[in-house]
Structure 1
Amino acid sequence: MKRPRGRALTILVTLVGMLLGGLLTAGEASATREVPSFYKTAVPASGKVSCYGYYGTFKAGTYVVVFDWVTSSDECFGISTDRTIWHAWPNSGGWHRMGGNGHADEIYPEWSLEDTVTKQRQVAVFVYSNYTAYCQDYVLPNGWTGSWFNCS
């Protein structure tokens, strides 16, 4: 199984992921859920990448992804050399490991979502060994749930 490509497939898979991930509820306007804008910084051979002045060591050849969340401050995500998933945001005091003991090979921004009404978010990562995307939800008021689920 290969990774999905193409805008139409990305949109379709995004909607399916939202349904499976619990972000869609009856009666919500579909225009409130969207893939947030993002940019990627390639991790160099040294593995060192800075986000908001916080340096971390990440898996060379991957990307640190910065999401422009509409409902809160931006947030950076990266995969460390041991495949654990880390994130940082302005005034976070540094990089923090994502809960749930997740391991991945890359951040998968095309499957990440934000609901601008409920302010819920979802970040997706990809695992090459089983060609599967896993997601974790951000739900107010507690934040990231710490539970990874198959969203591919």
Structure 2
Amino acid sequence: MLKAFCTALGMVALVTTASATTAQASPASGDGGVSIIAQASAQASDAIELAPYQLITVPANGRVSCFNYGGTFKVGTYVYKVDWATTSDECFGIGPDRKIWHAWPNSGGWKQMPGGGYADHIATPFLENTDPRSKYRRLAVYTQSSNTFWCQDYILPAGWDGIWYACG
């Protein structure tokens, strides 16, 4: 199973897989987002990928639409539209109350992430096991007050597991 350990805002310490370990520390990309820059090698059966994403800047009024679902988000952050390889794309954002929200096609609107987490920023990259049997993925968020990254996992058949755990 993939574990991402993060050290501080904009830095990565280590990414491990069952077969190999590599790491690269790098500053954030300069877009104002929180980045975890990493490289990992894996066996074919452990096909961990960095899912591509699109940044949507939250404007001064806080209103952002994704998949035609409007929501209000924390000004100064981004909504991330993630292109998952194994399932529908998904958007993630932080509300003005710091709650973590997500939406996907045909979700009926924005839904609060299970587990009742709070954050200041969504962290990147978005990790995914592209083996269609697993559909495993990980979301990381950052909280400034504790200077901590928190992660939640998506594992079939249940989906997002609702358990936020410190991953940095």
Q: TM-score, normalised by structure 1?
A: 0.84
Counterpart of 1:136 in structure 2: which amino acid?
Q
**Residue pairs, 1:2-151, within 5 angstroms:** 2-5=8-11, 8-9=24-25, 10-11=37-38, 29=44, 32-110=47-125, 112-117=126-131, 118-151=134-167
- Counterparts of 1:39 and 1:82 in 2: how far apart (Å)? 23
- Counterparts of 1:147 and 1:28 in 2: how far apart (Å)? 27
| Residue deviations 1:11-52 (CA, integer Å, cap 9, x gap) | 16xx6xxxxxxxxxxx95376102110111110110000000
The structure with the greater share of residues assigned to strand is: 2
CA contact (8 A) 1:38 1:109 kept: no
The structure with the greater share of residues assigned to helix is: 1
Distance 1:11 1:30, change over 3 A: farther
Which ranges of 4 or more aligned residues in structure 1 deviate by more than 6 Å?
Answer: none
Please give the root-mean-square deviation of Cα atoms over the aligned residues, in Å.
Answer: 2.0
% identity of equivalent residues: 49
Higher normalized contact order (CA 8 Å, seq sep 6+, divided by chain length):
1
- Counterparts of 2:120 and 2:62 in 1: how far apart (Å)? 14
Q: TM-score, normalised by structure 2?
A: 0.76
Counterpart of 2:111 in structure 1: which amino acid?
H
